[in-house]
């Protein structure tokens, strides 16, 4: 059967050319492939870290396609069918989307294409094991991580998909909307592969011992490349298996973190409402604070001036870098939900507004894990002590001093407890906005009442 003249490859969370099953399908289906990205104009209305990171990744992808990438602004339901008609494409190839919004969008685009006799073809997902594929013996999805992890290992996964020997990009004069100049950021497939290779050979060895240390900055920093699909988790897993370090405890710990990402995507697939609502209904009666005083406290949390050094360091890093160390994400989330008694979506939205790696499944279910309304079996009594956490995971105070200059004069672990030192507040660092011990007792009392 003769190949169609043109197929469209619609990029979304898969901004790469290696290990890309939808690209392979698009190449197999037609003699030419038109690469497309549809940009929501609303993204350009605000200058956020995520928007800047996306623009940098798109600039890199455009170079990788030798300028063939077409960018169109607008609603995909209108843009994709119109573009398919314009270039005579009978098929639009995509990686299968798994988020609630992405699924709704793709269903609408699929219908619009079908109305014109065209097809939306989904191949592959952003995950090693696609969400929805792992279920227990009764056919039900998992709600707890450990049994999911065991089933994930037993399930198996495909090898990396490879890359076509030749990609016949469509070279016709297809209009592409202009984009703002991309910032100079480390972004794109080549940068992701380089970062991964460096971590695999130099950073992975001590991952299990150092991953909780924000002062050392020894994590992979691959959360953003994974979010934009500049690298696929299949590639990481295959490289680990082939590497001598793949049999180490450090490698096992790193793989477990990848499985957490797959687990949260699976939970969201089965429970779309859990994106913004409590997964566990038994805590639905838990009371939260609101009003002018709570708003003031939330602002202090957002701005990194709660008076708790490791909390403030993390929140300032978020605002400055668009990123935060995972251990500190848990500490800051615990402070908002259990010291300030604020419902977790308030914090989840703030993180999504500022994180370059903001992923709704991992972010929002991570918040629920901390808040005690999500996947963990019994986390409601877990209340992170910000001072204890700071001293344990930033033992020399280097992380705090890096992000809270008002405490730079305090040596070592003293930076975590300025109230214990006569000169602790010489540089106008704020006093604690609440007493942690009092709020911990209040939190536990509220949880017990809600559960009762």
Confidence at residue 348, expressed as pLDDT on a 0 to 100 scale: 98
Contacts of 113 (CB under 8 A, 6+ apart): 80, 81, 84, 92, 119, 120
- Closest of 191, 274, 175, 268 to residue 225, by C-alpha: 191
pTM exceeding the 0.85 threshold for the entire prediction: yes
Task: Assign 183 a pLDDT band (cuts: 50, 70, 90).
Answer: confident
Please compute the mean of the pLDDT values over residues 16-39 and round it to a whole number.
97
pLDDT in tens, 205-244: 999 999 999 999 899 999 999 999 999 999 999 999 998 6
Contact 50, 185 (CB under 8 A): no
On the question of pLDDT at 38 being above 60, the answer is: yes
pLDDT, tens only, 144-169 = 999 999 999 999 999 999 899 999 99
Higher pLDDT, 285 or 198: 198
- Give, in degrees to the nearest 5, the angle at Cα 83 between 80 and 87: 140
Q: What is the pLDDT of residue 121?
A: 98
**Domains within the chain, CATH numbers bracketed:** 4-124 (3.40.50.620), 127-159+190-270 (1.25.40.80), 281-451 (1.10.579.10)
Strand partners, 373: none
Above 60 in pLDDT, residue 1? no
| 38 burial level (CB within 10 Å; 0-12, 13-18, 19+) | buried
Name the band, by pLDDT with cuts 50, 70 and 90, for residue 47: confident
| Mean pLDDT on 48-73 | 93
The answer to whether the CB of 160 falls within 8 A of the CB of 196 is no
Locate tokens 């929805």: which residue?
132
Task: Please say if the pLDDT value at position 4 is more than 90.
Answer: no
Q: Are strands 30-39 and 91-94 parallel, antiparallel or unpaired?
A: unpaired
Worst-scoring range by mean pLDDT, 5-19, 159-173, 186-200?
Answer: 159-173
Question: Does residue 128 come out as left (phi exceeding 0), alpha (psi in the -120 to 50 range) or beta?
Answer: alpha
């Amino acid at each position: 059967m003769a190949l169609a003249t043109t197929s469209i490859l619609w990029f979304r969370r898969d901004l790469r050319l290696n290990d890309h099953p939808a690209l392979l399908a698009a190449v197999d289906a037609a003699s030419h492939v038109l690469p497309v990205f549809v940009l929501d104009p609303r993204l350009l209305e605000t200058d956020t870290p995520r928007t800047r990171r996306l623009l940098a990744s798109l600039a890199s992808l455009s170079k990788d396609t030798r300028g063939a990438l077409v960018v169109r602004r607008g609603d995909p339901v209108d843009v994709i069918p119109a573009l398919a008609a314009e270039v005579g494409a009978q098929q639009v190839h995509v990686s299968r989307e798994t988020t609630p919004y992405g699924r709704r969008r793709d269903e609408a685009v699929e219908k619009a294409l079908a109305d014109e006799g065209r097809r939306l073809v989904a191949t592959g997902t952003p995950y090693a094991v696609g969400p929805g594929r792992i279920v227990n013996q009764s056919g039900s999805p998992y709600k707890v991580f450990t049994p999911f992890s065991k089933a994930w290992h037993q399930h198996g996964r495909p090898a990396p998909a490879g890359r076509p020997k030749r990609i016949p990009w469509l070279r016709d004069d297809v209009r592409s909307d202009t984009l703002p100049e991309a910032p100079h950021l480390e972004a794109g497939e080549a940068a992701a592969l380089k970062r991964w290779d460096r971590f695999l050979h130099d950073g992975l060895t001590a991952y299990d011992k150092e991953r909780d240390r924000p002062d050392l900055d020894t994590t992979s920093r691959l959360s953003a490349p994974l979010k934009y699909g500049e690298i696929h988790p299949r590639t990481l897993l295959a490289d680990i298996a082939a590497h001598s370090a793949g049999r180490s405890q450090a490698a096992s710990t790193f793989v477990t973190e990848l499985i957490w990402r797959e687990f949260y995507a699976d939970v969201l697939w089965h429970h779309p409402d859990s994106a913004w609502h409590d997964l566990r209904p038994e805590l639905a009666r838990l009371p939260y604070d609101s009003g002018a005083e709570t708003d003031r406290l939330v602002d202090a949390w957002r701005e990194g001036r709660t008076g708790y050094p490791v909390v403030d360091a993390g929140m300032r890093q978020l605002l400055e870098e668009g990123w935060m160390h995972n251990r500190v994400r848990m500490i800051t989330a615990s402070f908002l939900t259990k010291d300030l008694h604020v419902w977790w979506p308030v914090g989840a939205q703030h993180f999504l507004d500022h994180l370059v790696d903001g992923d709704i499944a991992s972010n929002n279910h991570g918040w629920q894990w901390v808040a005690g309304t999500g996947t963990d079996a019994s986390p409601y009594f877990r209340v992170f002590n910000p001072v204890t956490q700071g001293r344990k995971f930033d033992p020399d105070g280097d992380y705090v001093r890096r992000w809270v200059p008002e405490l730079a004069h305090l040596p070592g672990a003293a930076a975590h407890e300025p109230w214990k030192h006569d000169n602790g507040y010489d540089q106008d660092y704020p006093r604690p906005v609440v007493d942690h011990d009092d709020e911990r007792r209040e939190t536990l009392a509220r949880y017990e009442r809600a559960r009762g």
